[in-house]
Amino acid sequence: GPNAYGHELLGVLGELALATAQLPAWAAPRRAKRNLLTLRDEAFVRPEPLGLVLVIGAWNYPFVLVMQPLIGAIAAGGCARRAAGRAARGAAHRAAPAGNAVVVKPSEVSEHTARLLADLLPKYLDPELYPVVTGGVTETTELLTHRFDHILYTGSTAVGKIVMAAAAKHLTPVTLELGGKSPCYIDRDCDLAVACRRITWGKYMNCGQTCIAPDYILCDPAIQAQVVENIKATLREFYGDDVKSSPDYERIINKRHFHRVLALLEGQKVAHGGEADEASCFIAPTILTDVSPDAKVMQEEIFGPILPIVPVKSADEAIELINSREKPLALYVFSNNKKLINRFISETTSGGVTANDVIMHFFLSSLPFGGVGHSGMGAYHGQHSFDTFSHHRSCLIKDLKMEGTNKLRYPPGSHKKVAWAKFFLLKRFQWGRAGLVALVLLGLVAAVLIKVSLA
Amino acid sequence: NPYAGLVSGLRAAWLAGKTRPMEYRVAQLEALGRFLDEKKQDILVALASDMRKPSFEVEISEISICRSELHHTLNNLGSWMKDEHVEKNLAIQLDSAFIRKDPYGVVLIIAPWNYPIHLLLVPLIGAIAAGNCVVMKPSEISKNAERLVVETLLSYLDKDCFAVVTAGVEETTKLLENKFDYIFFTGVPSVGRTVMMAAGKHLTPVTLELGGKNPCYVSDDCEVHNVARRVAWGRFFNAGQTCVAPDYILCSAEMREKLLPALREAIAEFYGPNPKESPDFARIVGDKQFQRVRALLGSGRAAIGGQVDEQERYIAPTVLVDVRPEDAVMREEIFGPVLPILTVAGEDEAVAFINARERPLALYVFSSSQKVLQRVLEHTSSGGFCGNDTVMHMTLPVLPFGGIGHSGLGCYHGRFSFDTFSHARAALLRAAGREALNAVRYPPYSARRLPLLRAATETRRAPACTVL
């Protein structure tokens, strides 16, 4: 429906447009500043394709989490030579690749999208260069024994460790987009109605199965009841009085996760929701109050439509709680107080932050999207995708003649030589102002010469 | 775990926020600068004891280069630390979007023995600049440098936030069982694998500066004397114990005949008629390494050099010819003063030879033709590339230094060191107002709203034609 379009396709179309528009700029060699010893030389960084890339997708946003990395991997490296197609699967890291080849492994849990990708991609892309591999744990484990030049994995922390271990055997760099519990702090000084509407949107979209959904709320006990009321009101606005019959409310992906999520309600105070129906994997939007940090629901990423509220007496307590846990993928703070927001950002760490909203930092492609610690490593989106799938090769091209200054570095050594060598190595030449002055002088000289010649 | 206390102590200091303020970082970096100035003699002596490193080499490759990185970092730290504001789309024009550089926390730097000060300090500078606490693990093989780091270097730094661990293989394995927030390793690929596996258990990101065999292609259109000098300098510096040294030469039989006398001349120019007596030629660091390199002398035949002295761990500057690709000297990184020359029919054969092997840390091409340089550059892959010289590309702090494939993962130097040890954290600061604009994204979803949402957020493809 429209949510799939909004959440999955819109992002992909945007990335495609950006990549095709910016590719020449991204792929161009980047010139570097030189020192006195290397003044006459060319120094630049050349983005080159890595070779063979493996993209492992997740089941919650099965299309975008495969397509966005794929776009980056295809774009990376030189564009003009991509058509040569020398990078066939096995030979990719042996020959100098003309561009990245990409093995796409969609999640088997979202089986319909996996089948769709397996059917459609080969119709639009060369299956020799961009094969789609389907299968479950066994096939993925087998796939991971092969050598790749980069692996991008989206999924759980536990499997992230398995992917990194497999990559380590081949010294393959990885980008791991994992998860965790993304905290959401609501300050007393904020527009509570707006805050709660935005939180409700981010929490319950895709039935809570979003890696950057606000996992739990931290707020002063004094505003807890109001938060609950606001969220309830918003839920009615969004899904009507009977959530189950709203066409805009999703379901849990399968029975296993249905039971996992439901079990988190054990022993908790349900302020709203809690209804479930196994047949359709339906769990109603649920709010828990007065949740203890030691509760079961606070030990793992919820990845479902359950929103615990953990009361904290102050921002200090909130920050301490956040820092005592694994680094989250996203951090959210709602407040009118800019100083407080800055404090939260400065005294914690996380993959990314959105203040006074949720999720939105994901949609700006100029921002790198990734985790830190157990929530991941590396980042992508926009140019960050291009850079992730490229090797930035430093190049220095010198003159074969001009041996003069080189003599400084050759043995036999002497103290005088050391002083000169240090002088040349340490100083760096700024063309800016000097260049401008030189240009002006040149212009003056040219003007005089022209005048003289015409006279 | 014997190091758990040490690591948790540093983590407590980290959580207390000691290393974050700019003033603190600058103070620690300046202290490193004082170490380099005040203890220069000690550094010279330590490295002379470890591998008879000539004082000229110590000055430029251990002290000066660190000072360069230090100054570059101090000059730019303010701007590197600033939030990097990014381009916004229509929907968030009135919001603030930037990238915040967060320190990782407690980082581990493992340094090798060949440039024990340089390869510890340059990553350390980046780690401190980025606001981290650091555990340093200098190499136990360069014993005197290791002692210098423990007894002297550490005294210049804040011991609450910086520690040095002296450890052999077994203890280092135990050290790696602890959780670090970043691990920076310089060494051989096999140990790199071990480090990455250990890091993987904690999902710790890594930078691995490894090695390989750096090919050096010399095209026929070359003025041979400058080539010989530049290659000999890069190969025999530190008695060949340099990760970016040219490992082997590829050239035509014709060029080989010209190169040999030129190399002989360059070696004599540098080290005199008997390099063993030159104060400017180093020794192999230890007996094990000496035996390993000596065994490689059995490949092909020594056209230049070949003499050894086990007592001194001296191996003469040596050039091997008649070497076959399957020979021992071509199967591992040489890391010694031995330069094999293999003949190829031409550029294509050289490129094919290079591409059939693991991607090297550095690739060198000598040619007076820009076209040849460009072609080899485009048809090969390597960590870095230098045309018409050796080693020099890694002396510029503005060029990222790192490998690819088995030669490494990640990069550093200059700003890249700061970035390596920082987490680039995306931040979007919105305001509570303008909620009406958000209505487009809320349920109940309506297909009618999509065009508006797309218009506000989507990037459009630029038109193909442009007006000049």
ipTM of the complex: 0.94
CA distances from A109 to A65, A141, B174 (A): 14, 15, 38
Instruction: Just list the catalytic residues of A.
Output: 177, 211
A2-80+96-178+380-397: what fold? Aldehyde Dehydrogenase; Chain A, domain 1 (3.40.605)
Interface test with A, best of B90, B98, B358, B399 (most A CBs within 10 A): B399
Q: Which residues pair with B149 in a beta bridge?
A: none
**Which one of A34, A171, A323, A430 would you mutate to disrupt binding with B, by most B Cβ within 10 Å of its Cβ?**
A171
Of A150, A13, A36, A90, the residue nearest A423 (C-alpha):
A36
Question: For residue A80, is pLDDT > 50?
Answer: no
Q: What is the CATH number of the domain that holds B245?
A: 3.40.309.10
State the CATH class of domain A183-367: alpha beta
**What's the start-to-end Cα distance of chain B, in Å?**
67
Same domain, B86 and B196: yes
C-alpha distances (whole Å) from B344 to each of B20, B349, B351, B434 are: 55, 6, 10, 69
Predicted confidence (pLDDT) per residue in A131-190, tens digit: 999 999 999 999 999 999 999 999 999 999 999 999 999 999 999 999 999 999 999 999
C-alpha distance from A267 to closest chain B C-alpha (Å): 31
Find the CATH number of the domain harbouring B107: 3.40.605.10
Would you call B229 an interface residue with chain A, using a CB distance cutoff of 8 Å? yes
Helix (H, G, I), strand (E, B) or coil at B343: strand
Check if the beta carbon of residue A418 is closer than 8 Å to that of residue B280: no
Looking at residue A114, its pLDDT comes to 95
* Cβ-defined contact of A171 to B192 (cutoff 8 Å): yes
> What percentage of chain A exceeds 90 in pLDDT?
76
Q: A173 in the Ramachandran plot: left (φ > 0), alpha (ψ -120 to 50) or beta?
A: beta
**Interchain proximity B210–A171, CB inside 8 Å:** yes
Section A9-34 average pLDDT: 89
The residue type of B251 is C
Torsion B234-B238-B243-B249 (CA) sign: positive
Q: Alpha carbon A77 to chain centroid distance? A: 19
Say if residue B301 is in the same domain as residue B315: yes
Is B434 a domain residue? no
Based on the fold, state whether residues B141 and B247 are members of the same structural domain: no
For the cut 60, the answer to whether the pLDDT of residue A86 exceeds it is no
Q: What is the predicted pLDDT for the residue at B451?
A: 78
Rounded Cα distance between B385 and B361, Å, is 9
B381/A248 touch (CB, cutoff 8 Å), yes or no:
no
Say yes or no to pLDDT of A89 above 70: no
Chain A residues 288-307 with a CB less than 8 Å from chain B: none
B106 strand-pairing partners: B133
Q: How far is CA B60 from CA A378, B144, B335, B364, B386, in A?
A: 35, 19, 20, 22, 19
Which sign does the torsion angle of CA B399, B405, B410, B412 carry?
negative
Mean pLDDT of B250-258: 97
Q: Supply the Cα-derived Rg of chain B in whole angstroms.
A: 26
Give the N- to C-terminal CA distance of chain A in Å, as an integer.
79
For residue B433, what pLDDT is reported? 79
- With CB atoms and an 8 Å threshold, state whether B104 touches A96: no
Token digits for A151? Answer: 């692996």
Q: Are residues B164 and B143 in the same domain?
A: yes
CB contacts, 8 Å: B263 with chain A? none
Given a contact cutoff of 8 angstroms between Cβ atoms, the answer to whether B410 and B208 are in contact is: yes
3-state secondary structure of A97: coil
Assess whether pLDDT exceeds 80 at residue B447: no
Does residue B41 sit within a domain? yes
Q: Would the CB atoms of B193 and A409 count as touching at under 8 Å?
A: no
CB atoms within 10 A of CB B225: 17
Encoded tokens for B189: 């690929």
Q: How far, in Å, are A96, B55, B316 from residue B114 at the CA level?
A: 31, 15, 18
- Comparing C-alpha atoms, which of B335, B355, B111 is closest to residue B245? B335
Q: Would the CB atoms of B60 and A425 count as touching at under 8 Å? A: yes
Number of domains in chain B: 2
CB-based contacts of A377, cutoff 8 Å, min separation 6? A174, A175, A176, A370, A371, B203, B205
Interchain contact, B203 vs A96, CB within 8 Å: no
Q: What pLDDT was estimated at residue A10?
A: 80
Q: Which of B216, B243, B251, B411 is catalytic?
A: B243
The pair of structure tokens assigned to B204 is 């710790």
Of residues B406, B453, B461, nearest to A6 (C-beta): B453
What distance in Å separates residue A450's CA from the closest CA in chain B? 29
**Domain boundary, last residue among B380, B406, B432:** B406
How many angstroms separate the most distant Cα atoms in chain B? Answer: 87
Whether B224 and B113 map to the same domain: the answer is: no
pLDDT average, residue stretch A333-349: 97
Of B208, B396, B450, the CB nearest to A2: B450
How many other CB atoms are found less than 10 A from the CB of residue A387?
Answer: 18
Are residues B248 and B198 part of one domain?
no
Strand partners, B208: B185, B409
Do B85 and B234 reside in the same domain of the chain?
Answer: no
Q: For the segment A220-254, what is each residue's pLDDT rounded down to a tens digit?
A: 999 999 999 999 999 999 999 999 999 999 999 99
Q: Does a structural domain hold residue B460?
A: no
Over its C-alpha atoms, chain A yields an Rg (Å, rounded) of 28
B383 touches chain A (CB under 8 A): yes
Same domain, B108 and B138: yes
Domain boundaries, chain A: 2-80+96-178+380-397, 183-367, 403-447
How long, in residues, is chain B? Answer: 468
* Nearest C-alpha in A relative to B399: A394
Q: Which ranges constitute the DSSP H helices of B404-459? A: 414-420, 435-438, 450-457
**Is the pLDDT reported for residue B212 higher than 80?**
yes
Q: Using CA coordinates, name the residue in chain B closest to A407.
A: B229
Q: Rounded to an integer, what is the distance from CA B390 to the centroid of its chain?
A: 15
Strands A42-49 and A390-397 come out as antiparallel
pLDDT at A81 over 50: no
Instruction: Indicate the pLDDT class of residue A40, thresholds 50, 70 and 90.
Output: confident
Looking at the partner chain, which of B359, B424, B429 has a beta carbon nearest the beta carbon of A368? B424
Do B134 and B161 lie in a common domain? yes
What is the residue range of B299's domain?
Answer: 215-406
Residue B358 and residue B220 share a domain: yes
Selection from B330, B327, B305, B328 nearest residue B318 by Cα: B305
In a domain, B446, yes or no: no
| Omega of the bond leading into A411 within 30 degrees of 0 (cis) | no
Sheet with B408-409, strands from edge to edge, namely B162-164, B133-137, B106-110, B182-186, B206-209, B408-409
Dist CA B385 CA A163 (whole Å)? 31
Instruction: Read off the pLDDT of each residue in B186-202 and give the average, rounded to a whole number.
Output: 98
Query: What is the percentage of chain B residues whose pLDDT exceeds 90?
Result: 90
